[in-house]
Structure 1
């Protein structure tokens, strides 16, 4: 063996070992992976539940306004603003009893009682007032008396439509501006169980200010009621008789002073055991027609219930409401509206 051969042997051995190790470390080809399982079809997702419908806003509660502890000046509380002159005659400023709409929260509500209203030209020859100055003067004065602002909106089209429409409101609210561009600030003042509702508003063309102060109260009855004999005479002649029975404002609750009329109807029925009556409720056209229909129906039912309470056989009675659909007088005047707010006894 030559020296060169001897030196080459270890190198060959190392190369052989490396090739052998490389062959040993080479991995066998991987087996193909099994196919992924096919997912079972899923049922379509259930539709998301609809969001609950918001409950209608609760009616405004006058009792939410704390009673005032201030010493109140005589009704209607306020003097004429400095530098202004009333555009109303003195005889036209006061109404013994009427109805006026006020916005409580976001809803126009009818309130009845004695009314004072006045109107001023804010851009006239005398002291000129801006819209905000006129309204701010009343705001400060009312707050000093313990009153609280109660409206969150003005006479928007939505508010007017919900109350029976702009025409119906203007028939009741007379000179007060009835349009979305005229700001109204509505306040309530309470003391000793009494309520005073105040509407301060402004209008344009020309700029003017208007104020209404209403002392809530029931009407003092100035017309006597028919007794049982007069009711019978009318029914024998015409088959019906119209009665004016006092209810709480915009409710079907009979007032205590309605009881004498109920007693006379009871005497009428007691005096003729064969008489059967349909008790039919009617309203004026103030407010929404659907509401008036519901109100007249409830009032007729209240009269029926009161007669049953007197011992009248309910089989002799029925009740129905007609709302504003059968007026007997002009709804354009308070006198006509009062005549239309009636309960008729109709012979069956």
Structure 2
């Protein structure tokens, strides 16, 4: 009997093990097995927040184009392409001074100076030219003169909007229409301190080819400026006088030829110690209104600063900018735009 008592638990234990093994074999195949214990892996640290902002794209610098070492022919450099006749009268091709927009990098910039422009019907004449052939001819000729292509964009709507919108740009446009469907190739030639900006473009219906060559330079003043006595007479009569002071294009930097008129303003103020003036800047309507307002205010401040530098008490002066909001003439012509780009002295 004691023997029986020892063997029954062993038999039961063996049967239990066999039963558990059967249960494990019959378990569903998709029941996950317990994962082996592993050491905890720390979560990757979140990147530290940064306050850096992307750098603004650099403005195009004409000095980035090397000086040409070629022997340059007389302005405007190029003959008409073989087999093409100009659609302009000879007298209409040269403009003594105006403004034209060129794409430099990916921005439209206004450049002023002497302008030659021409246009050809590429579907007519003694022979036909494709868009590519017309533009390639000028590309090869410009490269032979040491010029470099400088535009990385076309007149997309973003480019035009950033420069004040298509309507503003087209007011001084001597090339093909400014739209994404009209390709423009922009080149720059530099030599001996001079710059020549070139726009070669084409426009369809019918296909025309355009070339613009601008020699960058300041306007040659053909109108004498008012002296101190004339300024005083106008201020006494009207409370203000409009002056035409030369600045660098699209900047508030006074040009050297502005010094004589600044000297006359200085004489006016020195002769009447009680006179106080508001110096007020104005622009034409080329470009974005916000930009024009900022530019006009900066130019007025430049004049104020120049007068303080001549010894005028700053307490007698203040400056304002009105941009394009107070035109004196119609902005539809260059003469009108020139009258609107002014600085007024207003008696306080």
What TM-score do the two structures reach when normalised by structure 1?
0.86
Q: How far 1:114 sits from its partner (Å)?
A: 0.6
* Residues 243-300 of structure 1 deviation map (CA, whole Å, 9 limit, x = unaligned): 0001111111111110111111011011111111000000001111111101100000
Instruction: Find the aligned partners of 1:277 and 1:214 in 2 and give their Cα distance.
Output: 38
Query: Which residue number in structure 2 is paired with residue 262 of structure 1?
Result: 262
Query: Which residue number in structure 1 is paired with residue 343 of structure 2?
Result: 343
SS of equivalent to 1:293: helix
* Residues 38-86 of structure 1 deviation map (CA, whole Å, 9 limit, x = unaligned): xxxxxxx989858965333111011111111111111111110000000
- Residues 175 and 211 in structure 2, CA contact (< 8 A), matched pair in contact too: no
Matched, 1:221 2:221: yes
**1:178-327 superposed matches below 5 A:** 178-327=178-327
Query: Which residue number in structure 1 is paired with residue 33 of structure 2?
Result: none
Q: How far 1:98 sits from its partner (Å)?
A: 0.9
SS of equivalent to 1:172: coil
Instruction: Find the aligned partners of 2:300 and 2:101 in 1 and give their Cα distance.
Output: 25
Do the aligned partners of residues 112 and 21 (structure 1) sit closer, same or farther apart at CA in structure 2, a change above 3 Å counting? same
4+ runs deviating over 2 angstroms: 15-27, 45-56
Matched, 1:167 2:167: yes
Query: Which residue number in structure 2 is paired with residue 75 of structure 1?
Result: 75
Do the aligned partners of residues 23 and 194 (structure 1) sit closer, same or farther apart at CA in structure 2, a change above 3 Å counting? same
Matched, 1:145 2:145: yes
Instruction: Find the aligned partners of 1:174 and 1:82 in 2 and give their Cα distance.
Output: 22
Q: How far 1:128 sits from its partner (Å)?
A: 0.3
Q: How far 1:105 sits from its partner (Å)?
A: 0.6
Q: Larger deviation: 91-100 or 52-61?
A: 52-61
- Residues 231 and 268 in structure 2, CA contact (< 8 A), matched pair in contact too: yes
SS of equivalent to 2:263: helix
Larger Rg: 1
| Unmatched 5+ stretches in structure 1 | 1-11, 28-44
Q: How far 1:346 sits from its partner (Å)?
A: 0.3
Query: Which residue number in structure 2 is paired with residue 31 of structure 1?
Result: none
**1:27-46 superposed matches below 5 A:** none
Instruction: Find the aligned partners of 1:98 and 1:243 in 2 and give their Cα distance.
Output: 19
Q: How far 1:222 sits from its partner (Å)?
A: 1.1
Q: What CA RMSD, in Å, does the superposition of the two structures yield over aligned residues?
A: 2.5
Query: Which residue number in structure 1 is paired with residue 40 of structure 2?
Result: none
| Unmatched 5+ stretches in structure 2 | 18-44
Query: Which residue number in structure 2 is paired with residue 88 of structure 1?
Result: 88
Q: How far 1:95 sits from its partner (Å)?
A: 0.8
Query: Which residue number in structure 2 is paired with residue 118 of structure 1?
Result: 118
Instruction: Find the aligned partners of 2:258 and 2:279 in 1 and give their Cα distance.
Output: 15
What TM-score do the two structures reach when normalised by structure 2?
0.86
Instruction: Find the aligned partners of 2:222 and 2:146 in 1 and give their Cα distance.
Output: 34
